[in-house]
Structure 1
Amino acid sequence: MIKNLKQKIKNRFSYSLLSEDDNTDYFSKPCPEDNATLWQRFTFGWTERMLMTGYFNGPLEMKDVSDLPDRNKVNITAPFLDTIDYNSKYPLIKQIYKEFVSRNKISVATKIFVAIVSILSPLCLKYFIYYIKLDESQKTFKFGFLLCVLLFLSSLSLTLSQQYGYWFGLQTSLHARGAITQKIFEKTLRLSNQAKRLYNSGTIMNIISVDVGTFSDFFWNNHIEIFVFPFQILALLILLCWIVGLSGLVGFGVMVVSIPLCTFLSTKIAKNLRISLGYADTRCNLTSEFINGIRFLKLYAWEQLFLDRIEEQRTLQLKYLYRRAIYWILDRMITQVTSALVLVATFSTYALTGNQMTLEVAFTAMTIFVNLRRPLEMLPEAIHRALSLIPSSKRIENFLQSPEIQDQPFLEQYSNNKLSIRNNNNNNNNVSSTSSIASSASSNELFDVKINNGTFDWNEIDDLDSGMIINDVRGFAISSDINDMDEMILGDEKVGKSNDTNNGIEYDGAVQPSSSSYVLNNINFIAPAGKLTVICGIVGSGKTSLVSGLIGEIYRVSGSVNIPNNISFTTQQPFLLSTSLRDNILFGKPMNMERYKKVIDACCLTPDLLQLAAKDLTEIGERGINLSGGQKQRISLARALYSDSDCFILDEPLSAVDPEVASHLFDHCIQGMMKDKTRILVTHQLQFIPSADHIIVVDNGVLTQGTYSELKEKGIDFESIMKTKKLNIDENDQSSTSTTDKKSSTSSSSSELKKSTSLLNSTKELDINTIISEKNDPNLIEKAKLLVKEDRNEGEVGFEVYRQYFRHGSLNLFFLTCALYFISQIIFQLSDFWLTIWTNDETNQHDDKYYILYYCIFIGAFIVFLVVRYFMMASITFAASKKLHSELLNSVAFASCQFFDTNPSGRILNRFSKDISDIDLILMENFSDVLQCGSTVVVALFMMIYITPLISIPFAILVVVYYVIQKLYRASSVELKRMESITRSPVFSLLAEAYNGLVTIRCYQQQKRFIEMMQNHININLRLFFYSFSVHRWVGIRLEFITALIVFFTAFSSLFSSNTGFSVLAVTTALGICSYLNWTIRQMTELEVKMNSVERVESYIKTPREGIRHTSEFEDEIDIDGEIEMDFTKWPSRGEVEFKNVEIKYRPTADPSLKNISFKINAKDHIGVVGRTGAGKSTVGISLFRMVECSKGSIFIDGVDISKVGLHELRDALGIVPQDPFIFSGSIRMNIDPFNKYTDDEIWTALEKVKLKDAISSMPLKLESGVQENGDGLSFGQKQLLCLSRTILKNSKVVLMDEATSGIDYVTAALLKQTIDENFNDCTMLTIAHRLDTIIDSTKIAVIDKGELVEYDTPMNLIKTEGSRFKKLVKYQTDFYEESQKKF
């Protein structure tokens, strides 16, 4: 019968869902509350369809959840925070009260009603006791039944009003949570460079996850109670005094004594929480940097270094969290002990002053104390949350008031055809200048880009003067050792350093300012309209600062900037979103297919699209992780080209591509589709200078500009540089390579390998329409997706999750703690039994002192067990929290690179911020509440059934109803919370991406689009939170009705009981558990929800490791050359490398990136690796480090199969200068020598070799000078030089140079080439390069095309071979340089 009923219900609701129009997106359906009847609103019945769907049709999905009500959407609520008065005290809290709480007056009224109704149940009980003590002749059934109904109604009114108080508080919570999160994101888009040093993405995520969460929790529950509870307590105390007379004042005195103690403890809780949050910020900062730089840490084998740094901050955080927990336990203990001592003090005083302890006095007073217990317990909690709100509020306010970037210096168009300049007009800047350019031209006419008397600095001077503490982050210019090369460039009339630099150090980044030292001082700059302007200069000369000044990304101290309102900008390290290649190019612009195809062709992306499964709809990983450096640069260039702006600012867009592609890009993009637009090109590739209309040479912040002939008259000699770049192979080269040939008899010549024509040439005739189409195969797109969908478990949180959690603490200790909770509650219940015996002693068998003594013993025993159980729970949960974080960190640190390719950093950081925060701060309290409330309810119910067996029958029925309700509820509530947790990840991911791409977003003026994207993500997250809370109220109201029925049936059964005293005890207990039963279910559900954080962390802990870390962990010993054991501290000793039939796939389902590669490198050989961008050159290099494992074949170093070597030993033995250098926050020393292996002299020698010694020695802290995360403030070339100094120090036998000088000018590169030859002549080196002059004297050249080795031989033999791909590259580049010199 029940099965048939269930099927009918399922059919009923399944039909209701499926009867909707199939074309209607349930995701966008309006909230059912909007069309609900009054009864549905009152009972929250409008949530039932969703609940039934979750129970009968399987786990809830996003499509099953309707839209968020408009009143709660962030685009409606966020503007209310625009008018915060930061000059007031606690401005953010005041603004929320002003805008949100004041608009929700019904929430205040509901809480006041709760306070009033709490007085009714003791009064009803008093009269019920009077009635039950009457003689049978005086009783009437109607009056008794009426009293039962009154008890039912008073209980129901109290609990229902609490439910509606929560519901109306939710509205304020949603408004605050959404609005603050949105404002934090909007502020992030306006952060200045100095503010970014104070707040990295990890800190901002921590503010959102922890501090905004604190606001959300406070305003849904505590913001009214903190004011209402004192009045409720006062009203109940007045009622108590009316019942027990002045004895009630004694109990009141006990409460008064406890209030200062609780307040003191709450202050301590807030203080320790504030300190722990500071360490949590640092931990999240380091974790964010760790995740962003994980590939570089793996390449350098530095993972453990960062793990130790993070664990150090974690230990400090836990230290203060544990102190907070101790104070929280003391606070809870005092609160609960106070409620017990109040009973002891009141009843003892009442009895000892000669009063008769009667049933009506004792149990009416007890009911008052039961009603007092909740406000007494919750008031300190509310005070604690309020005090916790203050540091969170301050942290948010500090962030919202952090320095902002100055208004972008874009020109505004007015109807009178005047173009006005917006200058610094915010942040209280003390310099303001305006100018205008009169024009009678049309709106489409271009104007010169100018800087007039501009002074710029990376630090906001006002903020420094105001005492803002910043990191010692700075850039630096390269050593003056290159002055001899300067003379080659500048001739006799060399541009010298500015006199203004004498009082400070010039940096191409942040400066340590003095009163007269700025990065750029009083400069004048012009880029003629519609012309090509080329900016060049040595590394650290100020090019990055100049470009940043143009686009408003550096602080403008004085002067003005004239620049068009629509500009396109490409950064040297391209910013790419985790979306499709097409979306990265469009970047918010509408699709124009004709222009789009031209852009693809001009940027030479057609060959790359051929290799991608879904062509231009292929998903790009975070920061373009699945693309080569050249591909990323060309996509960034395509974005700029597609935007069709009036001005293009291009920062080194050609450095990571081969010469042929660079020429194509220059001819078809810069001089092609961009023709007639204003173009500013920053480049080290001087072969393009002859084509420039205007040239600017930057040297230590000083600009020398003009046409080529004008600069030549000033003594600047470009011809000398061009001569250093010319590719010549003389007889000496031939003889040297011949010698090498004799030494390498096993090498293959080019005639023995496949020939390949240029991929670029072979695709020129392809019809681009066959590659790009508006219609695409959905299955192909799905296959080409890189990011995986976030894991989500279904159903209830399994027992295994709980077991694993307590395994980290102590499972046996947890069971003992559970027993203590029940024992303590039984003892407390026995005290009520004892009180009943006391009041029933009408014969005065014992005096009052006897009863008081044993009553005190019961209460004392309860207090002892109370203290022990709390400290045991704290010990268990903190041990679990510590181990969970440690295992999570280690699992992520040693996960494979594929894990980071398929999971965005924001999703991973969500585990370390929000999930770990929930585990740290909430689980201990949740477990304590569940065990306390659960033990109270269970013990009370058993006692009630024991006293009045008649209620067993209605109890049995109510238990069945209760079971059905909670099953319906839990089936959906847990899934809603899981989805709510998952929908937080896109918020963090977008924040991380936007933070990394601030410069690009601001230049393309895409802030509005990103704000709308964030609004959408926040609204989706709030939608799940809203419905999760709504179903809480649905179950809450129904459980409150059940508990009220329990009171009614208990009271009704008592009418027929012969034992008056125990009948009254049963009714009093029933009244007491009314709020506890619902609170138990609520806390159990909340616990299950928070255990979802443990579940999510555990899922990452189970992430597969990338490989065995240490060689000693291998079961089979390595046998090489007859030796069973090897000393890997001295391996490799020779540096011989061999690839045997190597095939590599980045994903199991992907096509091979390397196909059957075989070649051998003799010890001390220097091998040049060339090929088109995306051909697989970098894959060859990183395969040596096992960043991706071979799917077929093997790689040997000194005869050892590297797959049999521990990853740490392997990577630690090799050296690398990566293509995209990464600098970690910390000191210069830490970035060069993190393990303190080398002496200062050795470090200075390495810095001297890379031409950085003079600059760093000029810094106040020298080697201890600080650098910012990812080296922000340093140029790309400077980062490469620092990475090179690491490798020089390491002195490995096998070294990989992956485009190691791509961001360095040719003058510095020539010097570094000499340094590399001197320092790496005794090691085997693979050099991946597009600049053929850096590898032309290599022992051999490997040419890679489409993942295949097509040529491998000496440079001379390859050049002599007709049809050689390498010969074509050399000839092409040599001819191009010769043609360039002719133009000079």
Structure 2
Amino acid sequence: MSYISTLDDFCGSKFWDSNLTWNTDNPEVTPCFEKTVLVWIPCLFLWVAALLDSYYILNSKERNIPWNILNITKLVITCLLIVLKFVDLGVTVHNSSKEDVAVFNADYYSPIVKILTFILSATLLYYNRKYGMRASGVLFFFWFLLLLAGIPQFRSEILMHYRSAEDENVQYNFVSYMIYYPLIVLMFILNCFADLPPRDSPYKFEKNQCPESASGFPSRLTFSWFDPLALTGFRKSLTESDLWALNPPDSSKEVVPKFDKFWEQTLKKKEIASGPKATYTKTSASVNFKPDKERKPASILPALCLAFGGQFLFGAFLKLINDLLMFISPQVLRLLIGFVEGKEALWKGYLYALGLFACATAQTILLSHYFTRMYLVGMRIRTALTSAIYRKSLRISNSARKESTVGEIVNLMAVDAQRFVELTAYLNMIWSAPLQIALALYFLWGILGPSVLAGLAVMIVLIPVNGLIANRVKTLQIKQMRYKDERVKLMNEVLNGIKVLKMYAWEPSFEDQILKIRNEEMKVLKQTAYLNSATSFIWSCAPFLLLREKGYSLRVI
């Protein structure tokens, strides 16, 4: 009721009928609604998302994109929009002095909000050029939302123009909006293209540069910049010369120093917390060294979180939006079914259908970018860990070298570091899975009522079973890694002493030992495969068990 009162104060009671619903017969309803609600959505988005754009601006290492036709045109059009809104505000103030012209609060608020927002847009545009950001997703979505929000008023202004051709105020609003809306459309089109490369850049680009950085934001959003490589792979087998060079921010030259900075801070904090390595006793005049076993090793997790946590959290935010959209689609579908069964306005059916399409498209895009970003973060973590392990292996002491062989060190770099690439993509399931379960139960409770508890009981029963299988798989993985270390260690000894093996014809003996370890490793892999198959079978059967239990509960009720 407060929302209705607020809109009534903005627009006037003539826009409402006796049932407190929109009076759609009045052509002034849509532009008034646009001035109150549809204005705030894109403007609020820009003010909130400007923080994200500011983060990228402050962390950009490139500078000084040259002035060109694209960014000059954007800046000029934005300034024209600011001037146009100042004129609209002046006309509104002038009309307020006339008694025969109705002026509402929305007529004042709308141009003021747009003026401030367009000034912010021009500021971001200037600093994006200054700090080398060739394409801004924030500005792209801002102009896209303005484009969508302006469609209702565009239609309404045309209708009011033909219905009230003699009204001077209506004629001015029509002319003003016919100037404003094409400028919005033009700004949206211009923001689909990327700017020129920056002049000052610390990166050295290869000849076969990846086209992602030179692509506009729609191309990045839909991954269309990848199409040339996909077409090349379709026509012929890809060779090394066909592949693009690695993006400079993803190279070890950029990733490793960032990780090393936080890793050195972690080591310093650990040394301060653990105290001195040796103590001096005055009575015995001796120096007591603290054993290495008493000193706990520094954890690498804080350094990884500080170095790559921001990118990971942004990916988690994309996952959160995707999970919420997953439950918005059924609600829109329920509204669409109600529209088919009832006698609602025709435009609502089109709106629900477009909403379903928009939700499905947004889910696909968000999920694709989530996995891309997570694998990218995992790749950077693997690069940093591989570099740290390799540098540590070059400085390892003789006593430690007895405990860790070359094969084990190579195994750490090649296998264990790779696990982080696989981990990052599914680590968010720790919070995402409970959230999805909770939302699903909430919405199902509104449909099925207490019958949901039967399905919940089945899920609760399956959780311990899955936990037991997961613990067994974990044990088998540890066992497999131990066998793998033994095999790599033995292979390393064979390769180092190959001359002696050939001289004494010991190949069959060592081959039997290697195959024996390999057979044990294969047994572990086979058991792991069986357990993974059992897990997949259980969770594949879970939906059918839930439906059966819910159907049984419904029959009981």
Equivalent residues of 2:441, 2:452 under 8 A apart: yes
C-alpha deviation, 1:145, in angstroms: 4.3
Q: 1:123 is matched with which residue?
A: 331
Q: 1:71 is matched with which residue?
A: 249
Equivalent residues of 1:177, 1:215 under 8 A apart: yes
Indicate the SS of the match to 1:48: helix
C-alpha deviation, 1:232, in angstroms: 2.1
With 271-280 and 147-156 compared, the bigger mean Cα shift is at 147-156
Matched residue type, 2:407? G
Equivalent residues of 2:451, 2:554 under 8 A apart: yes
User: Residues 166, 94 of structure 1: CA spacing in aligned structure 2 closer, same or farther, 3 A cutoff?
Assistant: same
C-alpha deviation, 1:144, in angstroms: 4.1
* CA distance in structure 1 between the aligned counterparts of 2:406 and 2:253, rounded to whole angstroms: 23
Matched residue type, 1:32? P
Greater relative contact order structure (CA < 8 Å, 6+ sep):
1
Indicate the SS of the match to 1:31: coil
Flag structure 2 segments of 5+ consecutive residues without an equivalent: 1-203, 271-294
C-alpha deviation, 1:60, in angstroms: 2.4
Q: 2:219 aligns with which of 40, 60, 78?
A: 40
User: Residues 231, 171 of structure 1: CA spacing in aligned structure 2 closer, same or farther, 3 A cutoff?
Assistant: same
Q: C-alpha deviations, 1:448-490, integer Å up to 9, x for none?
A: xxxxxxxxxxxxxxxxxxxxxxxxxxxxxxxxxxxxxxxxxxx
Q: 2:427 aligns with which of 223, 233, 238?
A: 223
Superposition pairs of residues 181-220 of structure 1, within 5 angstroms: 181-219=386-424
User: Residues 328, 55 of structure 1: CA spacing in aligned structure 2 closer, same or farther, 3 A cutoff?
Assistant: closer
* CA distance in structure 1 between the aligned counterparts of 2:329 and 2:458, rounded to whole angstroms: 24
Q: 1:50 is matched with which residue?
A: 229
Q: 2:506 aligns with which of 290, 299, 302?
A: 302
Q: C-alpha deviations, 1:1308-1346, integer Å up to 9, x for none?
A: xxxxxxxxxxxxxxxxxxxxxxxxxxxxxxxxxxxxxxx
Matched, 1:347 2:533: no
Matched residue type, 1:36? S
Equivalent residues of 1:27, 1:64 under 8 A apart: no
Superposition pairs of residues 940-955 of structure 1, within 5 angstroms: none
Matched residue count: 324
C-alpha deviation, 1:100, in angstroms: 0.7
Q: 1:326 is matched with which residue?
A: 530
Indicate the SS of the match to 2:300: helix
C-alpha deviation, 1:166, in angstroms: 0.7
C-alpha deviation, 1:111, in angstroms: 0.9
* CA distance in structure 1 between the aligned counterparts of 2:252 and 2:233, rounded to whole angstroms: 27
User: Residues 91, 337 of structure 1: CA spacing in aligned structure 2 closer, same or farther, 3 A cutoff?
Assistant: farther
Superposition pairs of residues 540-689 of structure 1, within 5 angstroms: none
* CA distance in structure 2 between the aligned counterparts of 1:260 and 1:92, rounded to whole angstroms: 31
RMSD: 2.6
User: Residues 26, 69 of structure 1: CA spacing in aligned structure 2 closer, same or farther, 3 A cutoff?
Assistant: closer
C-alpha deviation, 1:115, in angstroms: 1.4
Matched, 1:175 2:380: yes
Superposition pairs of residues 517-536 of structure 1, within 5 angstroms: none
Higher helix share: 2
User: Residues 291, 273 of structure 1: CA spacing in aligned structure 2 closer, same or farther, 3 A cutoff?
Assistant: same
Q: C-alpha deviations, 1:809-834, integer Å up to 9, x for none?
A: xxxxxxxxxxxxxxxxxxxxxxxxxx
Q: 2:322 aligns with which of 114, 122, 131?
A: 114
C-alpha deviation, 1:71, in angstroms: 1.9
Q: C-alpha deviations, 1:32-82, integer Å up to 9, x for none?
A: 2222211111112222233333334x3222233232222211132223153
Q: C-alpha deviations, 1:1192-1239, integer Å up to 9, x for none?
A: xxxxxxxxxxxxxxxxxxxxxxxxxxxxxxxxxxxxxxxxxxxxxxxx
Matched residue type, 1:73? S
User: Residues 345, 309 of structure 1: CA spacing in aligned structure 2 closer, same or farther, 3 A cutoff?
Assistant: same
Q: 1:262 aligns with which of 448, 451, 466?
A: 466
Matched, 1:312 2:516: yes
User: Residues 158, 351 of structure 1: CA spacing in aligned structure 2 closer, same or farther, 3 A cutoff?
Assistant: farther
User: Residues 169, 245 of structure 1: CA spacing in aligned structure 2 closer, same or farther, 3 A cutoff?
Assistant: same
Matched, 1:151 2:331: no
Matched, 1:253 2:457: yes
C-alpha deviation, 1:108, in angstroms: 1.6
Q: 1:240 aligns with which of 444, 465, 490?
A: 444
* Percent sequence identity over aligned pairs: 25
- The higher radius of gyration belongs to 1
Equivalent residues of 1:27, 1:65 under 8 A apart: no
* CA distance in structure 1 between the aligned counterparts of 2:500 and 2:341, rounded to whole angstroms: 82
Q: 2:542 is matched with which residue?
A: 338
Equivalent residues of 2:211, 2:225 under 8 A apart: yes
Equivalent residues of 2:221, 2:365 under 8 A apart: no
Q: 2:137 is matched with which residue?
A: none
C-alpha deviation, 1:278, in angstroms: 0.6
C-alpha deviation, 1:88, in angstroms: 7.7
C-alpha deviation, 1:155, in angstroms: 1.9
* CA distance in structure 2 between the aligned counterparts of 1:88 and 1:203, rounded to whole angstroms: 21
Indicate the SS of the match to 1:36: coil
Indicate the SS of the match to 2:428: helix
* CA distance in structure 2 between the aligned counterparts of 1:338 and 1:31, rounded to whole angstroms: 44
Q: 1:162 aligns with which of 367, 379, 384?
A: 367
Indicate the SS of the match to 1:99: helix
Matched residue type, 1:169? M
Higher strand share: 1
Equivalent residues of 1:26, 1:66 under 8 A apart: no
Q: 1:1053 is matched with which residue?
A: none
Matched residue type, 1:101? G
Matched residue type, 2:326? S
C-alpha deviation, 1:244, in angstroms: 0.9
C-alpha deviation, 1:305, in angstroms: 0.6
User: Residues 233, 266 of structure 1: CA spacing in aligned structure 2 closer, same or farther, 3 A cutoff?
Assistant: same
User: Residues 28, 201 of structure 1: CA spacing in aligned structure 2 closer, same or farther, 3 A cutoff?
Assistant: farther
User: Residues 26, 304 of structure 1: CA spacing in aligned structure 2 closer, same or farther, 3 A cutoff?
Assistant: farther
User: Residues 95, 265 of structure 1: CA spacing in aligned structure 2 closer, same or farther, 3 A cutoff?
Assistant: farther
Superposition pairs of residues 310-459 of structure 1, within 5 angstroms: 310-353=514-557
* CA distance in structure 1 between the aligned counterparts of 2:212 and 2:532, rounded to whole angstroms: 39
TM-score of the pair, normalised by structure 2: 0.54
* CA distance in structure 2 between the aligned counterparts of 1:38 and 1:118, rounded to whole angstroms: 24
Matched residue type, 2:438? L
Q: 2:497 aligns with which of 293, 314, 321?
A: 293
Matched residue type, 1:63? S
C-alpha deviation, 1:343, in angstroms: 1.6
* CA distance in structure 1 between the aligned counterparts of 2:205 and 2:234, rounded to whole angstroms: 18
C-alpha deviation, 1:109, in angstroms: 0.9
Q: C-alpha deviations, 1:1079-1128, integer Å up to 9, x for none?
A: xxxxxxxxxxxxxxxxxxxxxxxxxxxxxxxxxxxxxxxxxxxxxxxxxx
Matched, 1:91 2:299: yes
User: Residues 27, 288 of structure 1: CA spacing in aligned structure 2 closer, same or farther, 3 A cutoff?
Assistant: farther
Superposition pairs of residues 887-902 of structure 1, within 5 angstroms: none
Matched residue type, 1:274? I
Superposition pairs of residues 986-997 of structure 1, within 5 angstroms: none
Indicate the SS of the match to 1:102: helix
Superposition pairs of residues 1320-1359 of structure 1, within 5 angstroms: none
Equivalent residues of 2:375, 2:422 under 8 A apart: no
Superposition pairs of residues 956-1355 of structure 1, within 5 angstroms: none
Q: 1:1056 is matched with which residue?
A: none
* CA distance in structure 2 between the aligned counterparts of 1:300 and 1:111, rounded to whole angstroms: 61
Equivalent residues of 1:111, 1:225 under 8 A apart: no
Equivalent residues of 2:466, 2:535 under 8 A apart: yes
C-alpha deviation, 1:196, in angstroms: 2.5
* CA distance in structure 1 between the aligned counterparts of 2:318 and 2:481, rounded to whole angstroms: 34
* CA distance in structure 2 between the aligned counterparts of 1:75 and 1:351, rounded to whole angstroms: 65
